[in-house]
Amino acid sequence: MSLIFESMKKHRGKPIVQITDPEIEKYALEMTTSESEHLRQLVKSSEEELDYVDMLCGNLVGQLLKMLIKISGARRVLEIGTFTGYSALMMAGALPEKGEIITIEMNLLYQELCEKHFAKYDLEQKIQLIKGNAREELPMLSGNFDLIFLDADKIGYPVYYEESLKKLAPGGLLVVDNVLWDGSVLQPQDQKAEALHEFNKRVTEDERVENVLLPVRDGVTVIRKK
């Protein structure tokens, strides 16, 4: 079973709504391909270094990303928000030879941790870490991406969304995490919940894309650029 399910600390002790019945989620994890041993070690290392690891995407979302990369044939991937490197390493494992991931992280501690993990586990050197603010770095990137994974600050989602569409190849996929925000998007009571609710509506009404919001873990939207 994924270590994430057993030990993840969620939203700094705030009350949460369990999107999926805990027993069903546990069963889903047990019936999903397990994360690799090196990713288990990454989770353990992250928990030792940090008070909270709720920003790790977890095995269910990680395996979904891997599956989407393999199904779509993606070769060039962009990640907005690296945290300690779990999702980048998960996706790197699905890429073909000469595939690449560019991942952007601005937090200095997270940069240090993910660099350590990449040096240890990214043996094929498919991952390139950009240290900086994604709002500033995204416009500077050249070329198109086949798949983009967005898991950064929630208030910034509208900005990242527009920049991502500019960088996404036609038919490419944009995968967005935490779109249900513990169910708080149903009746937003704070800035992040309201921002995510507005973002979800914006995507659904955008004729440039088609999308499906999946109630997986904390909510994942898969968006395809037409």
CA distances to 11, 56, 76, 102 from 70, in Å: 31, 21, 12, 17
Q: Hey, where are the domains in the chain?
A: 64-225
What's the pTM?
Answer: 0.91
Domain 64-225: CATH class, spelled out = alpha beta
Contact call for residues 155 and 116 (beta carbons, < 8 A): no
At 18 the pLDDT is: 73
- CA separation for the pair 191, 217 (Å, rounded): 21
Parts of the chain with a pLDDT under 50: 1-13, 15
- CA separation for the pair 132, 18 (Å, rounded): 33
153-177 confidence digits (pLDDT tens) = 999 999 999 999 999 999 999 999 9
Show the tokens assigned to 117: 């993990």
List the beta strands (DSSP E) in the chain: 76-80, 100-105, 127-131, 145-150, 168-177, 209-214, 220-225
84-112 confidence digits (pLDDT tens) = 999 999 999 999 999 999 999 999 999 99
